[in-house]
Structure 1
Amino acid sequence: MTITSPAPTPIPAIDTHGAADPRRARRRRGVSAVAWRLLGIVGALGLWQLGAVLVDSRGVLPGPAIVFSELGASLLDDPGLRYLGVQHPGYLYNIGWTVGFAVVAWLVGSALGAAVGLISARVQLVRNVSEPLLFVFGAVPALVLAPFFLVWFGQGWAGKAVLVAFYSFVTVGLVAQSAALSFPRASEEYAATLGLDTRSRFRHVVVPGTLPAILAGLRIALATAIAVQATVELLGSQTGVGRLIALRANQGDVAAVLGLSLALGLSAMALDLLLRVVIRRIIRWQ
């Protein structure tokens, strides 16, 4: 009698190309996103140039080349602003002042807003006190409150810092409170069955679960902080982009106003990109 051994089970081939497909797909999506953004920038500049040609008036709508040329010429120093008594007439210094000041106030206000928003979602007394404040002042424009803050805290740095921090507090507080209130209770109840007390559930379940929404709110608050800082400087300041925009607007220099506004916007975009990188590293577990 002949005994035959069973045929060996074939080993499936490992597809080395398939493992790289997700990486290639992500790379293609990244390149596509950059290409579309560049296309949007080129399209906007083209429409701007077309509008400048049709208007044909530098005093009404200067072209991109004129605006960027004047911006580069005054980036480090501007004799005209120095003649007007501006202590630091260079655009770069004033942009750095506005953005840096706004970032410091944003950090303080956002940290307080996140803490109050999260706690208010779990402590009714804190919610009763903070919720009206967050919703009322969240609907009031900064330009309305700015004169009051400047009167109460003075024309110096304190009034501006309090106003920027306050709006960052309101923005992040609303986001944190909404995220914590909508967080599923089932997750906390399951953690309770594992023996976690109230504080541990809040620290290890609620905070990580609402973190992505809060970090997204930080991006909104950062843009708001820079805008509020520049707006307050328009009303009264010795340094900053807002003061330079006010001076150039009084002179009727549209090119300088556009250049300063674009420089501030590009600075805000660069900070937002940096913040997005940090956020991706923080929530890489998602």
Structure 2
Amino acid sequence: MKRAGGAASPVFWAAIGVLGFWGLWELVALGVGNDAVLPGPRVVLWEFEHSAGGDRGLEFLGIEHSDYPVNLAWTVGTATAAWLIGSALGVPAGLAAARRQWLRDVTEPVLFVFGAVPVLVVAPLLLVWFGAGPLSKLVLVAFYCFVVVALVAQSAALNLPPATEEYAAALGLGPRARSRAVLLPSAFPAIVAVLRLALATGISLEASAELLGSRVGVGRLVAVRAQQGNVASVLALSITLGLVALALDTTIRVAVAPALRWRE
């Protein structure tokens, strides 16, 4: 039985980490002594409060939606939709490849090759083919999520000892029943881990693609602020996007915790 204080331990250490990072950031910023190069956390917080609701200067430059909530919703919403599509295709594809050698031989080299292609190489091509709208980013993030999730799901299924499935077969379970009762539960922890990683990285890829060309989104605001030399605003946008990604990751962990309780 766990002690009551143990539940507060992760929160305590998380607070220590945040405060330590804040203090170190303040010290380094004071050492630099130039907010235009490295603003401190208080300067970044002020910039967030000043610009989160919108900026007339950005609207003068032609940005229709300059407030943070709209751009965050666009970036995170597009990335999440692409993550759902890529993951929904990647999990069954990876599990199927693990159980069919010919399918694995066909798909594995292709997945590895395309998975190694940098996003900055693929993104301009998609912008040419699909335009600067959300479709090009959706395809990019969905394809990345599909590749990563499929490879990890395949690896997790292959790590299942053959004797386990053989024992289930000896008990009379057919292929589908073995997949539900043996294969999926054993691979589930690894699949959850890669889904969390794919979502966080997918949000980052979405914002990176928006840097290259987009009419709205966090990446669009970061690109404009960087051109203006507004480092505080760039940091405020980046940290806010990271906090939203952290909130989504926490939601996933809480949602799947009952299904992973057997590992404790």
TM range (shorter): over 0.9
Q: CA deviation at 1:42?
A: 0.7
2:16 paired with 1:23: no
Q: CA deviation at 1:142?
A: 1.5
1:237 to 214, 217, 225: 214
The answer for the alignment partner of 1:138 in structure 2 is 115
The answer for the alignment partner of 1:218 in structure 2 is 195
Q: CA deviation at 1:140?
A: 2.3
Contact 2:132 2:215 in 1 (8 A): no
2:182 paired with 1:208: no
Contact 2:148 2:198 in 1 (8 A): yes
**Equivalent residues in 2 for 1:41-190 (5 A)?**
41-190=18-167
For 2:114 and 2:260, the matched residues in 1 are separated by 30
Amino acid at match of 1:82: E
For 2:124 and 2:21, the matched residues in 1 are separated by 35
For 1:153 and 1:86, the matched residues in 2 are separated by 21
Q: CA deviation at 1:281?
A: 2.3
Deviations 1:214-244 (A, max 9, x none): 1111011011110100000000000100000
SS of equivalent residue, structure 1 residue 61: coil
RMSD of aligned C-alpha atoms?
1.2
| Residues 240-249 or 84-93, more deviating | 84-93
Deviations 1:103-133 (A, max 9, x none): 1110110111111000000012221221112
Q: CA deviation at 1:161?
A: 0.2
For 1:198 and 1:35, the matched residues in 2 are separated by 46
Contact 1:76 1:93 in 2 (8 A): no
For 1:66 and 1:35, the matched residues in 2 are separated by 26
The answer for the alignment partner of 1:15 in structure 2 is none
For 1:199 and 1:282, the matched residues in 2 are separated by 20
For 2:118 and 2:240, the matched residues in 1 are separated by 23
Q: Give the aligned length.
A: 263
Contact 1:155 1:236 in 2 (8 A): yes
For 1:199 and 1:35, the matched residues in 2 are separated by 45
Give 1 or 2: higher helix fraction. 2
The answer for the alignment partner of 2:229 in structure 1 is 252
The answer for the alignment partner of 2:245 in structure 1 is 268
Contact 1:167 1:224 in 2 (8 A): no
Contact 1:142 1:228 in 2 (8 A): yes
Deviations 1:179-222 (A, max 9, x none): 00111111110111111222222232211221111111101101
For 2:9 and 2:108, the matched residues in 1 are separated by 42
Which has the greater radius of gyration?
1
Q: Which runs of 5 or more residues in structure 2 are unaligned?
A: none
Q: Which runs of 5 or more residues in structure 1 are unaligned?
A: 1-21
SS of equivalent residue, structure 1 residue 23: coil
2:174 paired with 1:193: no
SS of equivalent residue, structure 1 residue 77: coil
For 1:163 and 1:101, the matched residues in 2 are separated by 11
For 2:161 and 2:262, the matched residues in 1 are separated by 19
What percentage of aligned pairs have identical amino acids?
A: 55
Change (3 A) 1:141 1:30: farther
